[in-house]
Structure 1
């Protein structure tokens, strides 16, 4: 097989490829996973649209809270002027809306941490995963060939077309439990052939 054929060899044919192809890939010293930035950008945009519709909704929430208090006849029982003050319900609605917005913001942060603030690099026979957070960064290194490691690749035609492929690295503990070491951001396999080849290399 000539050099041009070797360069076209794709990682999913790794186990079936010839020895000289595998040895050429095993000489890759360092390769970085090129992530797909579209899902994080879409998530941020969706959150912005969500907020733009959520906060104007606070007037309706204020009215609902007031009607609920009236339905329970709390104003007639307690007879407090505060309970008939519109500002009380406006502030209550603002608190409810802000709480919902903050809850979705935490979900957005978790999504971005998994799909934007992670770096996957192969360094010779090691895989290094760096995660960034508010307090700094955390780096995990291990050998992908170690015993008990399971590498789950979420692929398929639809995922590969949209760049929604993922890698999940797990240590098999028993039949009912796996310990997740890391989960990659979304990526396109076509632009990560070197990285995937180094991860799925022949032992």
Structure 2
């Protein structure tokens, strides 16, 4: 069976396809990820910062009013508590803390959806993850016993390229261990990769 014949068939119908297609092995295929979600995440974070930092004056005013409401300035009678700079710096710290917390979420999102590559190498799947200290590569056989491959698909996901694969080891009825989770991708541009992952043993 030629490779062109394989690409003509829809990959999600692999169970009902001809045995020659199901048993064919693609030597090497790489998952082509969808770069739109990471780009949108960076854009949303940039807009978030753009509108967040100008709010520091408003936050400073709220903190000062809260201190006045508790009558702390009247009880302690410290000149520092009436200094506007104290509340400005406090507001800047609060906003920076919020911005940093969302930045960590952004980094986690980008690590999952941008700094990972999925490659099938004959009968093995190789996942490479990049981090601050270098890269980490995991290799395993997708046909191994106990492995569950979860595919998040559907018309809406396939249209927007929000499909995902997750590889889990079934430990018990209530517990699964996630080996890896793919970035977002379009199934139409990853037929070879999906055939090699969902092939029959």
Which range, TM-score by smaller chain? over 0.9
Task: For 2:151 and 2:7, locate their aligned partners in 1 and report how far apart those are by CA, in whole Å.
Answer: 22
Give TM-score, length-normalised by structure 1.
0.96
Change (3 A) 1:3 1:146: closer
Q: Which residue of 2 aligns with 1:8?
A: 8
State how 1:40-59 maps to structure 2 within 5 Å: 40-59=38-57
What's 1:184 paired with?
Answer: 182
CA RMSD of aligned residues (A): 1.3
**How far 1:162 sits from its partner (Å)?**
0.1
* Partner residue, 1:20: 20
Shift of the alpha carbon at 1:13?
1.1
In the superposition, relative to structure 1, how do residues 22 and 87 fare at CA in structure 2: closer, same or farther (>3 Å)? Answer: same
Q: Which residue of 2 aligns with 1:195?
A: 193
| 8 Å CA contact retained: 2:117, 2:128 | yes
User: How many residues end up aligned between the 2 structures?
Assistant: 201
CA contact (8 A) 2:7 2:192 kept: no
Report the equivalent of 2:95: 97
The 1:6–1:183 alpha-carbon spacing in structure 2 relative to 1, beyond 3 Å, is: closer
Q: What's the secondary structure of 2:186's corresponding residue?
A: coil
**Is residue 166–residue 182 contact of structure 2 (8 Å, CA) maintained in 1?**
yes
Task: Say which SS state the counterpart of residue 195 (structure 1) adopts.
Answer: helix
The answer to whether 1:88 aligns with 2:80 is no
Among candidates 68, 71, 78, match of residue 70 of structure 1: 68
Tell me the CA shift for residue 20 of structure 1.
Answer: 2.1
Partner of 1:32: 30
SS in 2 for 1:14: helix
